[in-house]
Amino acid sequence: MENCIFCKIINNEINSIKVYEDVNFIAIEDITPINKGHTLIIPKKHSENILEMDSETSSELTKIIKKIGKSIIKGLGAKGFNTIINTGKEAGQEVFHTHIHIIPRFENDKIEFPKGKETTKEELILTAEKIIKNLD
């Protein structure tokens, strides 16, 4: 895509700090990291978000997440990591090229994610029914 910043990074038109590259993916350091080692995994084949990604690429993605995640834990001494995929503007997606955030977690790093909202069993059932009804 012509104006896609990640496509430009993939094509070496914009510099990045790469930590991994193969035929189908690159992984780069996030320039505004939530924590030390915050890495973005980016498929080389452009898709706007994970819902638009082809099946072959999405099945490969789990292998790359595991590879990068294990390397972050071993190399940085992280105790774990969060995997975040923002899909859509309302979900916080800013770059509309599929990418996965791997955020290393360290003991007492004080990073907090929002807590869940309380709900009733009836609301959960109604929500589940709507989801089930629309499964393809």
Taken in order of first residue, the domains within the chain and their CATH numbers are: 5-133 (3.30.428.10)
Q: Token pair of 17, please? A: 């700090």
Nearest partner of 10 among 77, 109, 95, judged by Cα: 95
User: Which tens digit of pLDDT belongs to each residue from 71-125?
Assistant: 999 999 999 999 999 999 999 999 999 999 999 999 999 999 888 999 999 999 9
Name the β-bridge partners of 103: 82
pLDDT band at 47 (very low <50, low <70, confident <90, very high): very high
pLDDT of residue 136: 83
Active site amino acids: 99
Reported as half-sphere exposure (CB side, CA atoms, 13 A), residue 97 has a value of: 19
Which segments within 1-136 are labelled E, that is strand?
18-21, 25-29, 39-43, 80-84, 100-105
pTM of the model: 0.92
